[in-house]
Amino acid sequence: MSLHVKPSTTTDALAAAGSALLSDWAREAIAARGRAVIALAGGGTPRLLYPVWAARAGLDWTRVILAFGDERAVPPTHADSNYGMVQEALLAHLDAAPRVLRMAGEHPRLEQAAADYARDLRGVLDADGRLDAALLGLGADGHTASLFPGSAALDEAKRWCVAAPGPDGTSRRLTLTFPLLKRARHIAFLVAGADKAAVLREVLHGPLDTRHLPAQTLLRDAALDVHLLLDAAAAAGLD
């Protein structure tokens, strides 16, 4: 296993490449295990990918289970909800409905919501607890999912999902943790925009400091199957 870097010239080409990769992984999982469990990302770049995936996938969506990498502490109808974004950008365009495991961001006790979500995941994953694929993004501060620099969630060694602070230190999120993400059969990072060029270079080529740059935990682990999909602007800082 190693890091596979896949540059695209435009964000449209990036979305097409990402959707093709997710479709390949889903078909592989369905053929091997009868279903595909895929964790989705929020954010602007995945939002561009999801309609393309819906149009081009050619999947038996009834055999697909969609989970989430993270969620804000808001109800599903809120403008900031990752679930709401996926509903609008992906689910509304499908002829057949996949099973969706939604994170209950509106729950009054996020710690309980995190425990409930981990239980739901255990109900659909094999005994080895492996997602078939995880789609992730890279924040300008080096975070991925809602695993932010310096967060106590970075130290989690057992739980699959936790309540964690947001980037401002006061808002709250639900997030999958590295003990689960590192088990994923495949991981795709989708990175776009000139504002990500500097941090991407630091994550890939700077000193290894996973508390400062949490995404290094996955992008610098040679034992994982990680695919880095990036557009020309994000790649500008790389050799």
**23, two tokens:** 């479709």
The CATH number of 3-235, from 3.40.50.1360, 1.10.1670.10, 3.40.190.10, 3.40.50.720, is: 3.40.50.1360
Distance CA 179, CA 160 (A): 6
What does the pLDDT average to over 220-226? 96
Distance CA 166, CA 173 (A): 6
What does the pLDDT average to over 79-100? 97
Look at residue 9 in the predicted model and tell me its pLDDT. 93
**Is the pLDDT confidence value at 156 over 60?**
yes
Distance CA 9, CA 185 (A): 27
Cβ neighbours for 60, distance < 8 A, ≥ 6 positions apart: 30, 96
**Is the pLDDT confidence value at 83 over 80?**
yes
> Where in the chain are the domains?
3-235
Eight-state DSSP code of residue 128: T
Look at residue 237 in the predicted model and tell me its pLDDT. 84
Strand pairing category for 70-72 and 133-137:
unpaired
Q: What percent of the chain clears pLDDT 70, i.e. is strictly above it?
A: 100
What does the pLDDT average to over 190-211? 96
Look at residue 1 in the predicted model and tell me its pLDDT. 57
Look at residue 211 in the predicted model and tell me its pLDDT. 97
Residue 237's SS3 state is coil
- At 169, the pLDDT band (50, 70, 90 cuts) reads confident
Look at residue 236 in the predicted model and tell me its pLDDT. 92
> pLDDT tens, 115-130?
999 999 999 998 889 9
Distance CA 3, CA 191 (A): 14
Distance CA 234, CA 193 (A): 5
